[in-house]
Amino acid sequence: MTSAFLCAQCGIDNEVIDNQAAYLRSWMKALKSHTRLVITAASQARKAADLIIGEKESVEVTAAKVDAHASQLHADAMARCR
């Protein structure tokens, strides 16, 4: 379920999402009498997807900060060389 959430959130090709949906439907049939388990699994999958996306965003923010700091260090070094 997590991969389905991530694909949807990241705009991954619909064919991939359709394949995941078919896979999830097969599990839904198997777990029809265990609806609480399906709800719990979906909740945990959403939390996992949110964590993964959050980690990605955190890495992107950190990379941007490193780039900005490196640019400033370069500018400072160039100013000292003049």
Domain boundaries, the chain: 2-81
User: Which regions of the chain are under pLDDT 50?
Assistant: none
Query: pLDDT value at position 2?
Result: 74
Nearest to 21, CA basis, from 31, 9, 40, 7: 7
- Angle, vertex CA 13, rays to CA 31 and CA 20, nearest 5: 10
> Using only C-alpha atoms, what is the Rg of the chain?
22
Distance separating alpha carbons of residues 4 and 35, to the nearest angstrom = 19
Listed as own residue / partner, the contacts of 29-35 with beta carbons closer than 8 Å and 24 or more positions apart are none
Query: pLDDT value at position 56?
Result: 62
pTM of the model: 0.45
Query: pLDDT value at position 82?
Result: 67
Query: pLDDT value at position 58?
Result: 62
Return the structure tokens found at 73: 């260090």
Query: pLDDT value at position 34?
Result: 78
Query: pLDDT value at position 18?
Result: 75
